[in-house]
């Protein structure tokens, strides 16, 4: 099992992030929110993930950076739950949306629950989509 977060898994493209906000779907598990969008099938890109913490709740950059670091770490340790279940590649943003200061253990638990909820939603949507064969 590979517990890394390499550069090719980091979401940095402004256009992709813009598309996430305009066309993306979301899943929430308090205080986390995951916004996702399927990557085009003809694209060779891998699943990419970015993290964000609101300046509205944490005015100091030190606090925002701490929670971003925690979110990246929980993703890094639990990404196997996410990537093993996905058949296609996605662009994903992970948000911390609360002024409550949860501990690392609580955030880790919520991340696992959020990933399970996301994979269940993806699997349900794949089952309900009509399969068109040429």
Could you read off the pLDDT of 108-122 as tens digits, one per residue?
A: 999 999 999 999 998
- pLDDT-derived band at 134, boundaries 50, 70, 90: low
Model pTM score:
0.87
> Domain-by-domain residue ranges, the chain?
8-115
Intra-chain end-to-end CA distance of the chain, in Å: 37
- The yes-or-no verdict on residue 45 having pLDDT over 80 is no
Query: 8-115 is classed in which CATH architecture?
Result: 2-Layer Sandwich (3.30)
């Amino acid at each position: 099992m590979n517990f890394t977060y390499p550069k090719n898994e980091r979401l940095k493209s402004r256009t992709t992030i813009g598309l996430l906000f305009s066309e993306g779907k979301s899943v929430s598990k308090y205080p986390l929110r995951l916004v996702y969008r399927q990557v085009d099938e003809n694209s060779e890109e891998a699943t990419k993930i970015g993290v964000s913490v609101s300046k509205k709740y944490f005015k100091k950059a030190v606090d925002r950076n701490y929670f971003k670091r925690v979110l990246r770490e929980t993703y890094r340790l639990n990404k196997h739950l996410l990537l093993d279940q996905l058949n296609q590649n996605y662009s994903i943003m992970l948000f911390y949306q609360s002024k409550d200061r949860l501990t690392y253990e609580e955030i880790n638990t919520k991340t696992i629950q959020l990933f399970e909820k996301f994979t269940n939603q993806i699997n349900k949507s794949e089952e309900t989509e009509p399969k068109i064969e040429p």
